[in-house]
Amino acid sequence: MKVLKFGGTSVGSVNSMLSVKKIVEAVDDKVIVVVSALGGITDKLINTSKMAAEGNDEYEKGLKEIVNRHIEMVYTVIPAGRGREILLDLVNELLNELKDIFQGIYLIHDLSPKTSATIVSYGERLSSIIVATLINGAVWYDSRNFIKTEKKHNKHILDSELTGRLVRETFDEIPEVAVVPGFISTDKTTGEVTNLGRGGSDYTASIIAAALDADILEIWTDVDGFMTADPRVISSAYPIKELSYVEAMELCNFGAKVVYPPTIYPVCHKNIPILIKNTFNPEAAGTIIKQEADHSSKAIKGISSINDTCLITMTGLGMVGVIGVNYRIFKALAENGISVFLVSQASSENSTSIGVRNEDASLACEVLNEEFAKEIEMGEISPMKAESGLATVAIVGENMKHTPGIAGKLFGTLGRNGINVIACAQGASETNISFVVDGGSLRKSLNVIHDSFFLSEYQVLNLFVCGVGTVGGSLLEQIHGQQEKLKQERGLNLKVVGIANGHKALFTRAGIDLGNFRQELEEKGIPSSSQVLHDEVIGMNIFNSVFVDCTASEDIAALYKDFLKHNISVVAANKIAASSSYDDYAELKRIARQRGVKFLFETNVGAGLPVINTINDLINSGDKILKIEAVVSGTLNYIFNALSADMPLSETIRKARDEGYSEPDPRIDLSGKDVIRKLVILAREAGYRIEQEDVEKHLFIPDSFFEGSLDDFWRNIPRLDAEFEARRKKLEAGGKRWRFVARLEDGKGTVSLQEVDSRHPFYNLEGSNNIILLTTERYNEYPMLIQGYGAGASVTAAGVFADIMSIANI
């Protein structure tokens, strides 16, 4: 004999009802079918009754919806003449009773728990008679006659002995198909209607299966089985093939809603397997829960959580070594019907934390303060401290037993993602590690753990890319081109979860389609601002995330600090942060180090050339940078290389701007500001404390040209052409060339226009190329030379990409 339970969604729509009929009629054994109320009806009954009790006549609308749902269901699933008329009479009778009860509470403005229990019972009573008519040859049984409860601590608890006996008596002879309403019961002494708690139909089915020694208990629901995590939170969760009773119990108790927690015990006791199946996809294998489950694969089987957590902490030296303190805590709580789901006590014994549901928190504090009133008064124990708004997560698996490193991996993963563990507990059975985090970190915690324990074949890096102009746009194209290959060959899933430009910002956890990002941003983006970026990026609280700044904006650079503090790595093409005040730069680096995240800005100097990384490698291996000489302005080099008799200064500047070699405002390049920033960054990375103001500058354009607007500048600049041409001619005649050189020596920085002859390594620097000469203790007689493209969107984007890859660390 089999017991099949169908949940609310399984009987919630016409199609699912017809699936239920098909599934049950295909069983070639006797079967007892337990059904829930039509999906959503229990909630509707509760809400409507509350409205009626408040005297809100909107309740009538709710009632009408309840009536219509059932009447429509009867008309659509039961063909005329096939018992439909008798069923309609029964359904209408029940609905009329319900209507009278609602009217009663509406008039007297009172809703007792007893009336409430009566009202919700109509959900299962109605659904079960519909299903009983739908399935050929089915016989309906009223579970109120044999599921019996008794009142303890103000709660209705199953009387399992009496219930077991009554179930056996009722099903002394089992028909081919029996249909039973789940969830509902009656009090064994008063006979009043009670129930087994929300989600209790699973329990009804388990009680019946155990009492009758069924071969199997099948729970038919709306997912492909018991999943590795709640699929509503973790989109990559997948069905678990096998679970042991212990594992299932641990997961259910901690919020895996798919099975109501008390369900496991009765069948476990009788060693009856539970099969979780999907009514909407009966072909899927589902999950089998039994005594001995397969433990060969992953270290943990599943993750579950509850966000309704309050941690009550009792501290005081008066507890240390005193026998009976814990006994008193649990006795006081038990006597008041308060359930404790997590306990954490260090061996020093001077503090004990217990996890309870938020609704129990104030009573728990009250009874504990009362129990320990004397000790509190004497100052031996502090009054109870309650911390609410928390969430508890549990990782579960019998495989954890004797497997070292699981807790290390768990807490390491959480730490790297900036998640603070407030309390934790692991019993010596080693099948469950539970920990408490701030409620706001729950989703992120579940994601990082799921990712690290279940999806380790792919490492995920979540990117926010700010600035989708030449560099950012090129970066996104490069990522798009590499995404599949990185996944297949390197096991890295690079997911762009946010993009933004100055006007629009788009965020999506699932990842943005990079084939079409500009259009997506335009169409689906929200108005962008640095505040929006700040709030969204931090608010999404997404794991393994990197903020990539491809702008030149000061406002965006100002966000790094908060991002790093929230364990979000930062990759900046933007030079502002690394070249701003030394203290700010140092603080960003310090926060990154403390948080275990990265702050990288290789492209700040020499675009994609490995300059900063090289300096870091030299220093980390004990070398000392003595001197840096560099041509690091692609723009200025371009300008000096382009100058000729046919092309005067003003035109080369315009051309540099038009071809994207200069900043949109070329004065930033011409004023030496850009070179100074780069020099400051190199010097700092080389270990020198230096500010932009400390750099001596010898410019080739008089200061007056930098005053006024950009338009003024464009108007005035041709005035320099003639003089420059004269100087250039002289230079050419002497066989020399101009290079704008940044120099660091003895910790002092200068930028100046220098004339170099053909023997100088800077002489042959083509186009917008950069060159960096590093004189170090080791590279002394012959300095190290790094040379190549120093500007351009695609090489800069490639440098940013390389920084991102170094964070992935694959």
* CA-closest candidate to residue 123, choices 70, 84, 185, 71: 70
Stretch that binds ligand ADP, among 251-259, 436-444, 664-672, 753-761 (CB under 6 A): 251-259
Stretch that binds Mg ion, among 6-14, 358-366, 413-421, 488-496 (CB under 5 A): 6-14
Give the separation between CA 672 and CA 743, rounded to whole angstroms: 13
Residues 6+ apart with CB under 8 A from 518: 468, 473
- Shortest Å, Cβ 590 to ligand ASP: 52
Q: What's 180's DSSP letter?
A: E
Judged by beta carbon, residue 42 or residue 662, the one nearer ligand ASP is: 42
Judged by beta carbon, residue 38 or residue 368, the one nearer Mg ion is: 38
Angle between the 41-53 and 84-108 helix axes, to the nearest 10 degrees? 30
**Alpha-carbon distances of 516 from 193, 463, 480, 519, rounded to whole Å:** 59, 16, 10, 6
Stretch that binds ligand ASP, among 198-206, 652-660, 668-676, 720-728 (CB under 6 A): 198-206
Q: Under a CB-based contact definition with an 8 Å cutoff, are residues 194 and 185 in contact?
A: yes
Q: Under a CB-based contact definition with an 8 Å cutoff, are residues 70 and 83 in contact?
A: no
- Is 409 annotated as catalytic? no
**Residues within window 266-305 making contact with ligand ASP, judged by CB under 6 A:** none
| Residue ranges in 455-499 assigned as alpha helix (H) | 470-490
**Residues within window 29-88 making contact with ligand ASP, judged by CB under 6 A:** 36-37, 42
Expressed in angstroms, the distance from the first to the final Cα of the chain is 54
Judged by beta carbon, residue 121 or residue 635, the one nearer Mg ion is: 121
Q: Mark residues 154-193: x for contact with Mg ion by CB under 5 A, - for none.
A: ----------------------------------------
* CA-closest candidate to residue 97, choices 75, 128, 66, 74: 66
- Shortest Å, Cβ 803 to ligand ASP: 51
Give the separation between CA 804 and CA 320, rounded to whole angstroms: 50
Q: What's 594's DSSP letter?
A: H
Considering the rule CB under 6 A, would residue 198 count as an interface residue with ligand ASP?
Answer: yes
- Shortest Å, Cβ 357 to ligand ASP: 17
Considering the rule CB under 6 A, would residue 199 count as an interface residue with ligand ASP?
Answer: yes
- Shortest Å, Cβ 159 to ligand ASP: 19
Considering the rule CB under 6 A, would residue 8 count as an interface residue with ligand ADP?
Answer: yes
The continuous run of DSSP H or E covering 447 comes out as helix 442-454
Q: Which one of Mg ion, ligand ASP, ligand ADP, none is in contact with 9 (Cβ closer than 5 to 8 A by kind)? A: ligand ADP
Judged by beta carbon, residue 149 or residue 551, the one nearer ligand ASP is: 149
Query: Looking at 186, 201, 305, 501, which residue binds ligand ASP (CB under 6 A)?
Result: 201
Stretch that binds ligand ADP, among 144-152, 216-224, 468-476, 564-572 (CB under 6 A): 216-224
Query: Looking at 21, 257, 487, 667, which residue binds ligand ADP (CB under 6 A)?
Result: 257
Q: Mark residues 6-25: x for contact with ligand ASP by CB under 6 A, - for none.
A: -xx-----------------
Residue 173 burial by Cβ neighbours in a 10 Å radius (0-12, 13-18, 19+):
exposed
The amino acid that residue 441 corresponds to is: S
- Shortest Å, Cβ 471 to Mg ion: 51
Considering the rule CB under 6 A, would residue 227 count as an interface residue with ligand ADP?
Answer: yes
Q: What's 12's DSSP letter?
A: T
Query: Looking at 258, 384, 600, 642, which residue binds ligand ADP (CB under 6 A)?
Result: 258
Query: Looking at 256, 314, 414, 506, which residue binds ligand ADP (CB under 6 A)?
Result: 256
Judged by beta carbon, residue 34 or residue 615, the one nearer ligand ADP is: 34
Count of residues that bind ligand ADP according to CB under 6 A: 19
Spell 646-655 as b/e; 16+ CB within 10 A means b. eebbbbbbbe
Considering the rule CB under 6 A, would residue 130 count as an interface residue with ligand ADP?
Answer: no
Q: Under a CB-based contact definition with an 8 Å cutoff, are residues 124 and 181 in contact?
A: yes
CB neighbourhood size of 112 (10 A): 10
Judged by beta carbon, residue 37 or residue 607, the one nearer ligand ASP is: 37
Stretch that binds ligand ADP, among 78-86, 220-228, 423-431, 691-699 (CB under 6 A): 220-228
Q: Mark residues 170-189: x for contact with ligand ASP by CB under 6 A, - for none.
A: ------------xx------
- Shortest Å, Cβ 403 to Mg ion: 32
Q: What's 239's DSSP letter?
A: B
> Cα angle vertex 527, ends 521, 532, to 5°?
105
Q: Which one of Mg ion, ligand ADP, ligand ASP, none is in contact with 286 (Cβ closer than 5 to 8 A by kind)? A: none
Which residues does residue 138 pair with via DSSP β-bridges, in sequence order?
A: 177
Stretch that binds ligand ADP, among 252-260, 407-415, 756-764, 795-803 (CB under 6 A): 252-260
CA atoms within 13 A on the CB side of 614: 20
- Shortest Å, Cβ 126 to ligand ADP: 16
- Shortest Å, Cβ 408 to ligand ASP: 39
**Residues within window 17-76 making contact with ligand ADP, judged by CB under 6 A:** 36
Give the separation between CA 435 and CA 439, rounded to whole angstroms: 12
- Shortest Å, Cβ 272 to ligand ASP: 19
Q: In what order do the strands lie in the sheet with 748-757?
A: 696-698, 748-757, 736-745, 625-631, 769-776, 784-789
Considering the rule CB under 6 A, would residue 141 count as an interface residue with ligand ASP?
Answer: no
CB neighbourhood size of 313 (10 A): 16
Judged by beta carbon, residue 198 or residue 331, the one nearer ligand ASP is: 198
Give the separation between CA 13 and CA 647, rounded to whole angstroms: 78
Give the separation between CA 435 and CA 11, rounded to whole angstroms: 36
Residues 6+ apart with CB under 8 A from 322: 349
Stretch that binds ligand ASP, among 197-205, 341-349, 484-492, 672-680 (CB under 6 A): 197-205
Catalytic residue, chosen from 5, 188, 290, 678, is 678
Q: Which one of ligand ADP, ligand ASP, Mg ion, none is in contact with 261 (Cβ closer than 5 to 8 A by kind)? A: none
- Where residue 756 falls (left for φ over 0; alpha for ψ -120 to 50; beta otherwise) is beta
Judged by beta carbon, residue 16 or residue 567, the one nearer ligand ADP is: 16
Query: Looking at 12, 62, 123, 634, which residue binds ligand ASP (CB under 6 A)?
Result: 123
Q: What is the 3-state secondary structure (H, E, C) of 22-73?
A: HHHHCCCCCEEEEECCCCCHHHHHHHHHHHHHCCCCCHHHHHHHHHHHHHHH
Give the separation between CA 114 and CA 186, rounded to whole angstroms: 11
Considering the rule CB under 6 A, would residue 7 count as an interface residue with ligand ADP?
Answer: yes
- Shortest Å, Cβ 19 to ligand ADP: 13
- Shortest Å, Cβ 251 to Mg ion: 14
Which residues does residue 392 pair with via DSSP β-bridges, in sequence order?
A: 306, 436
Judged by beta carbon, residue 42 or residue 574, the one nearer ligand ASP is: 42
Considering the rule CB under 6 A, would residue 230 count as an interface residue with ligand ADP?
Answer: yes
Angle between the 634-642 and 649-658 helix axes, to the nearest 10 degrees? 130
Considering the rule CB under 5 A, would residue 199 count as an interface residue with Mg ion?
Answer: yes
Count of residues that bind ligand ASP according to CB under 6 A: 13
Considering the rule CB under 6 A, would residue 198 count as an interface residue with ligand ADP?
Answer: no
Judged by beta carbon, residue 40 or residue 469, the one nearer ligand ADP is: 40
Q: What's 419's DSSP letter?
A: P
**Which residues of the chain form contacts with ligand ADP (CB under 6 A)?**
7-10, 36, 199, 221-223, 226-227, 229-232, 256-258, 302
**Which residues of the chain form contacts with Mg ion (CB under 5 A)?**
7, 199
**Which residues of the chain form contacts with ligand ASP (CB under 6 A)?**
7-8, 36-37, 42, 123, 182-183, 198-202
Active site residues: 678
